[in-house]
Structure 1
Amino acid sequence: MGFWNGKKVLITGHTGFKGAWLSEMLLGRGAEIFGVALPPEGGDSLFAQLSLDKRMSGALLDIRDAAALKTEVAAFAPDIVLHLAAQSLVRRSYQDPVGNWATNVMGTVHLLDALRRLERPVTAVVVTTDKVYENHEWAYAYRESDPLGGHDPYSASKAACELVSASWRRSFGGTHLKIATARAGNVIGGGDWAEDRLVPDIVRSLKAERPVEIRNPASIRPWQHVLDPLHGYLTLAERLHMASGGAFQSGYNFGPEPADVHSVRALADTVLRHWPGRWTDASDPNAVHEAGRLSLSIDKARSELGWSPVWRFEQAVENTIHWYRQADLGAEPAELTRAQIKAFEAAT
């Protein structure tokens, strides 16, 4: 907790699902936060539910605007940067591949170049995804040393972010600019209202008392509660910021324990134990390609950072659905969020 007190932290993507949870965590740790992002999507955004617009400073801008981003970065002069801003939906990346690449790749270039020009030391954690690996649909968990790749525009663009980060680290890094990347699994948690994402789609159907349509019930994913990878990002940022030399300047996986890698079907069944309903198989053989099997090795983060996941699969699902059900019954989303952060941090 003491490390973050008074630190100047720039969060890109603070209006998104993960960014809102991260902002709430850092406010609780006494950090001075500045956010850069597009306006939140939809009236039910967690950013709005937490009233973060009134509790932290920020600028609403598109990271594709290099000049505007450079101005805000220079004015705030952060100690630490957590780069979450991205086009993060696989199916949307097929609809607008050019916009997807411009945001994910050139947006990252613009940020890192703005940081390069700061006249002070700065630590940056660039958040990518578990989908950065060349996916061969095999059973073993991907390690940080495995080849990067990506079939769909989203996955490939995030793999390119890894290459951009490595290039900037080698070309411009050192004691002045430290860069690491974080590759997380499929996150779940209260307050996610994104389109075409499994848990929000399930919740919308349950609220409307409709059968839940599941597109890919056999797909395997490394499910984890959003607080686990965010804890990983913060742990990595701390170690990186305090390190000397080139320590921790590389990529790290943040995923669940191997036993918590489950199918979409298993996740849906577990959700319905906490919020009764039923699901139907809506598989479409003509749908755009999405990976069938994916899991991450977390040995590197465990051994080098001392990080391990805190909430197992059942607990992650239970806490997620508890958040949605209680909010649907009238509980304050901000109170639910803070209570879960408190419980999580007590367990770390």
Structure 2
Amino acid sequence: MGLMSFWTGKRVLVTGHTGFKGSWLCLWLEHLGANVSGIALQPDQAPAMYGLVGDWGGQAHRICDVRDASGLTDMVKRAEPEIIFHLAAQSLVRRSYREPALTFAINVGGTVNLLDAVLSCGSVRTVVVATTDKVYAENANGAPYLESDPLGGKDPYSASKAAAEIVCESYRDSFMANAGIRLATARSGNVIGGGDWSEDRLVPDAVRAFGDGKPLALRYPEATRPWQHVLEPLGGYLAYAQALTEARHDVPSAINFGPDPRNVATVGELADELASVWGIRNGWIPAEGPHPPEARQLSLDSTLADRSLGWRSRLDRAQTIQWTCGWYKAMLSGADMRAFTIRQIAAYERLAA
């Protein structure tokens, strides 16, 4: 993908940089030689990926809530980025049921605030907004979603991300095109990998349960998801931003970055595989009680990413699970997690070369 030569010296801003995906992306960008700035809230988990893979001595780290329009604009102007990755979000489906107003305020209002800040900045050439595979209106036949499929979302999280897609389309057509700024959205699947400690997510819940010697309680073991290692969509984001910045005319404004169809598995199947690699028998049990509704099946068609960017999934499901469990086991053994994470990044670069 020619990443190293392109990213060396680029001024890059990552919103949500203290989160799981943001931390991986910042470390990869630094590894590629970019000058990285970050805007986010303080990590709300302990341990936190962002702290585990520090030192961030070369990074301009700024704390700001994306709902604070004036504060966000000031920080974007100070960073003077050429390229922005917008990852800041309320990203938990179950939390969105508990706090729908907050979810819409962050995911929709925060996106509006960022795009307004971009228009007032003057230095920005490219913006990639990360959304989700859940932006699509649920289909009845279970077919993989195409970028041309209707947007929708029944739960507040999915609806807020679909709304963010519409916001981006409006700003692109109304303002960004005339300003010479390339704005695009990236839709990825269920991301797993080392360093995620969020609530109500399969791998963090599994690591906590297995560490306590308990089986993992699953809400929807028969639900099907497009599982992928965190480096897969991030590699797509990097290639996407590069193509947009180089003003390639054949680059679409929204792309799916999903796993190989063979990586699709039910929640129960993935939990079984995680338990096997971890060395746990009887790895899960059905969770008791009523649960908020979630889509029963999700999968993405990533043909457009391959055709327009030459991007495709590199890790099969077994590798994805091995890399993920390996990261957590290394952390629990006291390894230098910055060095370990960079080694995984370098190994992925070799696969993608």
Q: Same fold (TM over 0.5)?
A: yes
In 2: Cα distance, 1:346 partner to 1:301 partner: 19
1:297 is aligned, of 276, 301, 311, to 301
**Which residue is 2:146 aligned to?**
143
**1:307-328 per-position Cα deviation (integer Å, ceiling 9, x unaligned):** 0111111100111001111211
Contact 1:33 1:57 (C-alpha < 8 Å) held by counterparts: yes
- Secondary structure of the corresponding residue to residue 279 of structure 2: coil
- Secondary structure of the corresponding residue to residue 145 of structure 2: coil
1:168 maps to amino acid: Y
Q: Which stretch shifts more, 145-154 or 332-341?
A: 332-341
In 2: Cα distance, 1:39 partner to 1:226 partner: 21
Give the deviation of 1:249 after TM superposition. 4.6
In structure 2, relative to structure 1, the CA distance for the partners of 1:104 and 1:52 (3 Å cut) is farther
**1:162-200 per-position Cα deviation (integer Å, ceiling 9, x unaligned):** 000000000012262110100000000001000100000
**Which residue is 1:344 aligned to?**
348
In 2: Cα distance, 1:29 partner to 1:220 partner: 35
In 2: Cα distance, 1:69 partner to 1:162 partner: 20
**Which residue is 1:11 aligned to?**
14
1:29 maps to amino acid: L
**Which residue is 1:274 aligned to?**
277
Give the deviation of 1:286 after TM superposition. 2.3
* TM score, norm. by length of structure 2: 0.95
In 2: Cα distance, 1:326 partner to 1:65 partner: 38
In 2: Cα distance, 1:36 partner to 1:139 partner: 37
Give the deviation of 1:284 after TM superposition. 4.8
Indicate the RMSD between aligned Cα atoms, in angstroms: 1.3
**1:211-267 per-position Cα deviation (integer Å, ceiling 9, x unaligned):** 11111110000000000000000000000000156x425110001111111111111
Contact 2:13 2:36 (C-alpha < 8 Å) held by counterparts: yes
- Secondary structure of the corresponding residue to residue 131 of structure 1: helix
Q: Find runs of 4+ consecutive structure 1 residues off by over 6 angstroms.
A: none
**Which residue is 1:198 aligned to?**
202
Q: How many residues align?
A: 347
1:9 maps to amino acid: V
Contact 2:17 2:38 (C-alpha < 8 Å) held by counterparts: yes
| Residue 74 of structure 1 pairs with residue 91 of structure 2 | no
In 2: Cα distance, 1:25 partner to 1:85 partner: 17
In 2: Cα distance, 1:143 partner to 1:52 partner: 40
In 1: Cα distance, 2:39 partner to 2:128 partner: 15
In 1: Cα distance, 2:46 partner to 2:123 partner: 38
Listed as ranges, the gaps of 5+ residues in structure 1 are none
| Residue 229 of structure 1 pairs with residue 233 of structure 2 | yes
Contact 2:271 2:284 (C-alpha < 8 Å) held by counterparts: no
1:1-348 alignment, distance < 5 Å: 1-174=4-177, 176-243=180-247, 247-277=250-280, 278-284=282-288, 286-348=290-352
In 2: Cα distance, 1:74 partner to 1:113 partner: 11
In 1: Cα distance, 2:332 partner to 2:64 partner: 31
Contact 1:181 1:250 (C-alpha < 8 Å) held by counterparts: yes
